[in-house]
A and B are shown apart, each in its own frame.
Chain A
Amino acid sequence: MTDAPMATAEAARHALHTMWSIRRFEEAVDDLFARGLMHGTMHLSIGQEASATGVCMALRPDDAITSTHRGHGHCIGKGADLTRMMAELLAKETGYCRGRGGSMHIADVATGNLGANGIVAGGIPIATGAALAYRMRGEDRVVACFFGDGATNEGAFHEAVNLAAIWKLPVVFVCENNKYGMSFSTEKSMAVENIADRAAAYGIPGVTVDGNDVSAVYEATRTAVDRARAGEGPTLVENLTYRWKGHSKSDKNLYRTKEEISEWRALDPILRFEHDLKESGLLSEEDIQGIRTQAMEEMRDAVRTANSAPDADPSDLLDAVFAPV
């Protein structure tokens, strides 16, 4: 748990560096895929960096998260190593999942990431269960559960939130509402105005936040985390944000207008945070440029190092099907 992004220069640097790391990582993935150098499919979170960054900054290192198919940012926000993440995407033995997981399953368990998930809403009950475990063991750890707007229409969301609510579990349900469940807009997919309104049905607080404002995200999450740690149960935090890129690589963006994409691109959470920092005098233009350069160099190093690692070895593919007894 760090201070608020605007509280100290150190916190500001951390927030900005995290957001740029996410942006650069996603750009690198985009570029490598576009060149035919990367396998599979990927769901990029460009434009949503403030949500992952603000939420993770409100967590302690020993707190946990559950993540989604659009999980690269959560993974980085929680402190994962860019090289091992990139190695996973490049199908290397040194990847976090030894090449078995790929984009949709990258997770660094050591930094508290309990897994990215290819199933919409699949991680929500898992977060509830992890929180249950901490509660039962008397540990004061909290789980932040990331999911998208689409997941809140899955039964798993309702069941898991209800369980967490009746058991007052230390979990923060973080909905990254980027307005579209693949191509289905929230206007069409639900009859309530905000996803946060759904919290009322389970007797827990629900807040809607400007998800492109890293400070606002941090504050809302911090409040929810403190409540959870104090035994007051879960909170539903709704971060309103937007993904610049398509749902996945083969998305023609037919369900939204170029104007809408342009409007949201103008609301770039990183540029906005840089602007706020310069306004407040917390960081100088040079500081900011330094962080940008650092993030770019780190990403280039990560790509190079990851690419030079040995490819994932198929010879022991059966080894991890079962854990050794």
Chain B
Amino acid sequence: MTRLAIRMPKMSMTMTEGEVSEWMVEVGAEVAEGDVVCEVMTDKVDMEVESTVSGRLVEIVVASGVANVGDPIGWVEGEDTGGGFGDLLMAPEPDAAAVETTTEDVPATEAPRTVLETEDAPAPDPAAAPAAPDPAPSGPPAAVPRARGLAAERGIDLADVVGSGPDGLIRVADVEALAQPVAAPPAPPAAAPPAAPPTAAPATPATPATPARAAQPQARPAGDRKTAIRGAVARKMTPSAAIPQFTVWRTIELDAVDGLRQGVSWTTVLLRAYAAALREVPDLLCRWEDDRATESGPPSIALAVATDRGLLVPTFLEPDLGSAADLDAEIRTVVRSAHAGKLDPAYMGVANGSLSNLGGLGVDRFQALLTPPQASVLSLGSIRQRPVAVPGGVGLALTVEAGLTVDHRVADGAHAAELLQRLAARLSGAL
């Protein structure tokens, strides 16, 4: 005589447990294989449980309530006829060595390999899908579709963009680096104007961005401000290449104002003079928008500050209105914080003109590029004594080479000449 289990049977594909609701036989009763011994509620139906063994019911383990599939719910004393096949899988077998191999080689949880290839089945001639083709001379440049759409909106030719992605894939960021968001809703691609060929601009505070190919095409390391600033310059300045612009030059004598500036920096002096002159040439206080020149408000001048982190451009609103000394102090403070990589939001306004001074770096003259939507930018070289023509011969004068670059769409050469004329007048007279 052996104790034989009546177990909670699995009675549907999904059943993991069952709830015993009622026993039909009492302890002590004789049961035969196939007899109904109790009722069980499952996830599908209520089922009758038949005894799988014959003998005397000696114990009811689960009189009512839930039991897991396979758990004993009752015990019968009877003959073991060898039909407990499940025991072979549940109890360790003498031939345990063989059993051990079952779980080692193939983890049961291992999911089928996801097949990313497009082959349905091993083909006789397995030609895997080609990898991203190298940018072929015959095909369009490889670009993320969204980047392609953005380029079309911005009128940027993808051929001019260097992709930072794998195999030179152009990403959205690469296009954005060349595109300044425009206020107007983007024109549909079909109507987008063809991009102007990029002008060969000399080196300026901003050069068209060509992001270096990262060794790993991943996001930039956090905190790489220098890289971020380059990107910002690129985003701001690249659209400049699409603007028809010209530069006029004038040598301005500064001896008169030098005697009056009382320690105020040349930058402050020139910034105030430029702003004041702009008020007198209102054509230059405009921006080109919706195919027409629109007034852009009072002078608001961006000052290019070269820091070791890159170019920063704080904007000074109507710098000609306050005192020179106050502006000078203000500029020093702002420049200091610019060098520290910080900029007060008050100086982040939209400018309608820029002042760029490379005189401190020994540059005599240079051509600045317009920063859209500004209509003009004033470039200043070094301020020093230079030979000048004086009555009866050659003398020395403190001079600066000033270049004014103007958006030809809003103004003409005469306007630029007039501004330089007024600037020169201010600097040779009273502040």
Contacts and interface: CB of A to CB of B under 8 A. Distances in A.
- Do A and B touch directly, given a CB cutoff of 8 Å in the complex? yes
Nearest to A323: B121
A30 B354 CA distance: 88
Nearest to A313: B106
B10 A35 contact: yes
A291 to B, nearest CB: 14
Contacts of A93: 106
B34 A307 contact: no
Nearest to A321: B121
B70 A310 contact: no
Nearest to A29: B85
A318 B123 CA distance: 11
A36 B69 contact: yes
B25 to A, nearest CB: 15
A304 B93 contact: yes
A281 interface: no
Contacts of A250: 11-13, 44-45
Contacts of A310: 101-102, 105-106
A27 B81 CA distance: 12
A85 B387 CA distance: 107
Contacts of A249: 10-13
A28 B87 CA distance: 11
Interface in A270-303: 296, 299-300, 303
Contacts of B89: 32, 35, 37, 303, 307
Interface in A300-325: 300, 303-305, 307-315, 317-319, 321-322, 324-325
Contacts of A300: 82, 85, 88
B110 interface: yes
A265 interface: yes
B52 A34 contact: yes
Nearest to B106: A311
A155 interface: no
B272 interface: no
A15 B180 CA distance: 89
Contact of A311 (B12, B81, B108, B122): B108
A252 interface: yes
B24 to A, nearest CB: 12
Contacts of A27: 83, 85
B95 interface: yes
Interface string B84-116: 111011100101001101100110101111010
A33 interface: yes
A299 B85 contact: yes
Contacts of A40: 13
Given A31-B85, A265-B34, A307 B99 contact: yes
Contacts of B55: none
A35 B91 CA distance: 13
A252 B85 contact: no
Contacts of B115: 318
Contacts of B245: none
A189 interface: no
Nearest to A319: B122
Nearest to B70: A35
A37 B86 contact: yes
A313 B113 CA distance: 10
A227 to B, nearest CB: 40
Contacts of A34: 7, 9-11, 52, 69-70, 86
B133 interface: no
Contacts of B90: 35, 37
A314 B86 contact: no
A8 interface: no
B85 A28 contact: yes
A149 to B, nearest CB: 24
B45 A32 contact: no
A223 interface: no
Contact of A32 (B34, B47, B86): B86
B20 to A, nearest CB: 15
Contact of A304 (B52, B86, B88): B88
A201 B82 CA distance: 49
7 contacts: A37-B70, A37-B90, A41-B13, A252-B45, A314-B112, A318-B121, A325-B124
Interface of A: 24, 27-28, 31-37, 40-41, 93, 249-250, 252, 265, 296, 299-300, 303-305, 307-315, 317-319, 321-322, 324-325
Given A315-B112, A324-B122, 5 more contacts: A36-B70, A93-B106, A249-B11, A307-B99, A319-B121
Ordered nearest first, which 4 A-B pairs have the shortest CB separation? A34-B9, A35-B86, A36-B69, A314-B112
